Structure 1
Amino acid sequence: MSSTTTTSTTTETPKVLRLRPKVDDAMPLPPFEYAHIFDEANYGDWRDELATKGWTVVKGAVPRERALSYRERMFEWLESFPLGFKRDDPSTWTNEHLPVHAKGGMFWSYGLSHESFCWDLRQEQGIIDAFTKVWGTDELVTSFDAGCIMLPGRTDVKDDQPWEHMDQSRHRRGFYCVQGIANLNENGPDDGGLMVMTGSSQLVEEYFDTFGRTYEKERTFGAFDYWMFSDEELKWFENKGCKWVKVTAGPGDLILWDSRALHYNVRPKGEKDRCCTYICMAPAKLQTEEDKRIRKEAFEAERGTTHVPIGHVYSRAFTPSVRDGKPDPLDTGRPRDRIPQTDKILKLAGIKAY
């Protein structure tokens, strides 16, 4: 696949779909010291796939049986809500019996980011080792991202259309973040999971250099490190040779992808549930004092954040979920166990220095 292009004054700008940023569109971004680590594939391991394809699967980052036990704990979490959900009763697999979620199973509130199974997963050595390999340091901080439980056969999901996007600002140049999914169930071609446009991570800058970095249509989602693509924009990448791939993985595999890669998720088509947590880590030294303050507040309030562990201007802590137009009392007033204040957790949280 070639990454070169020829432009002219007659180049037609694709129709765009823009999401309103929360910060000034023209604000300057400081140079990023890791921007060029995936410019070339010269590692001799799975990092070469990150450089060329934009994604990879780290096999067995978590032992299989332990990964399946995490899945059990996630279902126990769902059944702990007084909404009548039962994993062995498909009639309860509806919005009425589930906490508020998006895309048929993405949960981000209710303190899920700080449940013990999420923190146990973040402390799995195989997961830490993978991010250590990406960044070249084991002194890492983690995102307070949440998880996904997608149940098969649901007919009440309204927001299940593809939402092709990348989780990186169009103003950034080079690599900025690698995202991760800790996979907790068998995930084959017909099971719910991650769709990635292979090769797109290396072409996004060429795209924006060609067609510009302004937006035309405002929508409600406001994360800075986010860009949603229209059908016309997607066609440009397809014409460059990029192809959509459904990532397959087993329990305990860690799926990693460059935030520049176009991606979205799909719900199960078969009989298996999709169960996973989202994990993203970056070097602790990249935190600013404001990063530390915001992360400490989110940690103590047991609130989640976006996937980016660094860069306070661009991240945000999630607010309580809304049900029937009001903050869900199951989110704002649900009794919870406090997060263990261990040395390892406090360092990963960015509260204690390495």
Structure 2
Amino acid sequence: MDFNLGTCFYILANYKGYRMSVEECEIELRDYDGEFLRRDVKTEGSIQPEHEVRENCKGCKRKIKLMDEGCVFGCCRVCCSGITKKISSFIGGKVRCCDVHNDRIIKKPTKSVKKPIKKEYVKRICIYKSLSQIIYTGHGADELLAGYGRHRTAYLKGGYKEVTKVLKNEVGRLWERNLGRDDRCISSGGKEARFIFLEDGFVEFIQSLDVTFIADFELGQGVGDKRILRRYAEELGLKECGNLVKRAMQFGSRIGKVVGGEKGDEEFEKSEKFKPPTTDPTKYDKDYRFDITLPDWLPYLQTHGYCVISSAVSSQNTNLALKSLITSLKLLHGNDVDTWDIPEHGLISETLGQSSGAWLIRGSSIVKSAFERIWEEKDLIVSMDCVIIWLSWLNNSNFKPRSEGLHLDQNPFNKLDMISVQGMIPLIDVTEEIGGLQIIPGSHVGVLKEEFKDMHGDMRGKGDWCQAKEEYVEGRGGEARLVECKAGDLILWDSRTVHGGKVGSLGGRREGVEDGEIARASVTVAMVPRAWASEEVLEERKEGFRIGATFNHSPHETGTSTGTVKGKLYEDYIPIELTAEQRELL
């Protein structure tokens, strides 16, 4: 039985306590400094919850006064003080009295404490005693309507066909897993459960629908999962609830904190025998690629200075974006690639940064979800930076690109903190043969950052574009690693991280593409909270979009920092029509 859910149902069915707000619960939990004890229900003298108000003190057996009623230990003020002191001694920290006796100073327990309470206690924080005999639960909604993170993972692996397969499997085993647990929990408290989402007619109706009507995984969390249920909630007027991201009961109720959010089989990990290996941020490995639903990618980004979110843009949209960019280039420079005016470094501004292909990538819900998690903010604006295009040089050395070299896009003297996370979505697989973005892992913090500052002291007070000096490249350049990934992946890196382009060894091509066409194509993207931008900047962004201007990686600066690639503007330029999702990012 799941400990957290079991505790939650037990409290709902049996326990009598005092009403508290979420904020008050947080304060109570912090009193323990993160250390909690599990109560052994078999220990003699351990405190058991009761349905009726206790009339006698559990310590001294004396009549409890009216002012003592509500004590979590069922004791008078003297015995309550004695109990909390014993708890403090046992855990090696200070624990205050219960809320009933907290404001009354107690010097020390009297000799009337006749029955000492042994070791194990737990501070009881509960909301109320439910008088209801029937409990309605929402179990089955996630299994039927694709509400779990694993359903999004299944979609990324095999599309809606794989999601349908997973849903069928989960519904088939629902009675054996969740329902068995819930039946034991609720029945032990004398309550009856009603599983409204598992009513026969409802289950039959949902399973008759196409899975694309139930969920839309092109949309972000809190929008695409359980889509049909969220839309119905909006119809009922529950607009705010309909957009909430799923949160498990044990975390929403804060019960999960009582056991540190750990499962029973994780106890071994807390022992001295289990010590996870430390990760050297400068050591290169291929474990930098994560699914957006996994929690590990953000800590990896913060530690190593970069990471990759897999399949941030669907293969269909990736191919559409690539075709759109090629079409835009042909409209600008003609059908003959020999006439294309592409700079050696491949950073193209002009109007390509405002093309439909670039905006198709920027509007990806998974890309936005990644930046939402980074900044913990949903109202974001997106960069309108350049597009990177390399022509194949396999049989034509004139097309071989020239990298801009290792550099920083955030001055380490003027801007010390993480104020920008840059992103890039390659539209063609990144390989050693072709090349792409390279990173010096861990160079955004610590010793490597200080080393860069020591060697580039002349950059103090200058702009954000900081080109690495030759002696730095000679010393640290060998540690730079190409970020290999798949088309449609989202590469993220802290702007304080030393990075740059790496030209491949062969100018090789992906299979099926002839010489003279595109070898590398990437759309740069970065997002920051809208609140960071002034009203003037927001207006400049709208005007820039209207005239087809390109800015840089800082959406809230409209290209005022150094490093902006200026492009040619056209008087007859007509801006594209943005979707509602894309318009929100402008």
Q: What's the TM-score, normalizing by structure 2?
A: 0.44
Deviation of 1:223 after TM superposition, in Å, equals 8.6
Distance in 2 of aligned mates of 1:145 and 1:126: 19
Q: Is the 8 A contact 1:185 1:274 kept in 2?
A: yes
> In the alignment, what sits opposite 1:28?
none
Q: Is the 8 A contact 2:325 2:355 kept in 1?
A: no
Q: Is the 8 A contact 2:452 2:472 kept in 1?
A: no
> In the alignment, what sits opposite 1:63?
314
CA deviations 1:217-267 (Å, max 9, x no partner) are: xxxxx99221011122235556xxx82111111121111111111111133
Q: Is the 8 A contact 1:165 1:229 kept in 2?
A: yes
Aligned length, in residue pairs: 281
Distance in 1 of aligned mates of 2:341 and 2:542: 26
Q: Is the 8 A contact 1:118 1:146 kept in 2?
A: no
> In the alignment, what sits opposite 2:508?
270
> In the alignment, what sits opposite 1:80?
331
CA deviations 1:93-127 (Å, max 9, x no partner) are: x4xx1134341x22111x11111121121111111
Q: Where in structure 2 are the equivalents of 1:142-181 lying within 5 Å?
A: 142-153=382-393, 154-157=396-399, 160-161=402-403, 163-170=405-412, 171-181=414-424
Distance in 1 of aligned mates of 2:470 and 2:333: 41
> In the alignment, what sits opposite 2:429?
186
Gaps of 5+ in 1: 4-42, 86-91, 217-221, 322-330, 350-354
Aligned with 2:438 (options 181, 187, 195): 195
Q: 3-state DSSP class of the match of 1:214?
A: helix
Q: 3-state DSSP class of the match of 1:80?
A: helix
Deviation of 1:317 after TM superposition, in Å, equals 6.7
Q: Is the 8 A contact 1:189 1:247 kept in 2?
A: no
Distance in 2 of aligned mates of 1:193 and 1:54: 17
Deviation of 1:274 after TM superposition, in Å, equals 0.9
Is residue 213 from structure 1 mapped to residue 457 from structure 2 by the alignment?
A: yes
Deviation of 1:178 after TM superposition, in Å, equals 0.6
CA deviations 1:320-351 (Å, max 9, x no partner) are: 44xxxxxxxxx424x444232554333311xx
Q: 1:46 to 1:102 in 2, by over 3 A?
A: same
Q: Where in structure 2 are the equivalents of 1:1-12 lying within 5 Å?
A: none
Distance in 1 of aligned mates of 2:450 and 2:428: 37
Is residue 345 from structure 1 mapped to residue 582 from structure 2 by the alignment?
A: yes
Q: Rg bigger for which structure?
A: 2
Distance in 2 of aligned mates of 1:100 and 1:294: 27
Aligned with 2:561 (options 296, 306, 314): 314
Q: Is the 8 A contact 1:308 1:315 kept in 2?
A: no
Q: Which has the higher contact order (CA 8 A, sep 6+)?
A: 1
Q: 3-state DSSP class of the match of 1:305?
A: coil
Distance in 1 of aligned mates of 2:280 and 2:499: 21
> In the alignment, what sits opposite 1:141?
381
Is residue 232 from structure 1 mapped to residue 479 from structure 2 by the alignment?
A: no
Q: Is the 8 A contact 1:320 1:332 kept in 2?
A: no
Deviation of 1:297 after TM superposition, in Å, equals 2.6
Q: Where in structure 2 are the equivalents of 1:53-132 lying within 5 Å?
A: 53-85=304-336, 92=337, 94=338, 97-103=339-345, 105-109=346-350, 111-132=351-372
> In the alignment, what sits opposite 2:302?
51
Distance in 2 of aligned mates of 1:125 and 1:74: 20
- Paired amino acid for 1:121: I
Distance in 2 of aligned mates of 1:266 and 1:283: 31
Q: 1:2 to 1:249 in 2, by over 3 A?
A: closer
Gaps of 5+ in 2: 1-278, 282-293, 511-518
Q: What's the TM-score, normalizing by structure 1?
A: 0.71
CA deviations 1:11-31 (Å, max 9, x no partner) are: xxxxxxxxxxxxxxxxxxxxx
> In the alignment, what sits opposite 1:332?
570
Q: 3-state DSSP class of the match of 2:440?
A: strand
Distance in 2 of aligned mates of 1:320 and 1:189: 30
> In the alignment, what sits opposite 2:481?
245
- Paired amino acid for 1:339: I
Q: 1:133 to 1:83 in 2, by over 3 A?
A: same
Distance in 2 of aligned mates of 1:106 and 1:293: 25
- Paired amino acid for 1:283: P
CA deviations 1:140-195 (Å, max 9, x no partner) are: 00111121121221422587155110100121112111111112112222223111
Aligned-CA RMSD value: 2.9
Deviation of 1:277 after TM superposition, in Å, equals 0.5
- Paired amino acid for 1:244: A
Distance in 2 of aligned mates of 1:215 and 1:129: 34
Aligned with 2:535 (options 279, 282, 289): 289
**Structure with greater helix share of residues:** 2
Among all aligned residue pairs of Structure 1 and Structure 2, give the percentage whose two residues are the same amino acid.
23
Q: 3-state DSSP class of the match of 1:340?
A: coil
Deviation of 1:74 after TM superposition, in Å, equals 1.5
Deviation of 1:83 after TM superposition, in Å, equals 3.1
Distance in 1 of aligned mates of 2:432 and 2:585: 34
Q: Is the 8 A contact 2:388 2:522 kept in 1?
A: yes
- Paired amino acid for 1:213: G
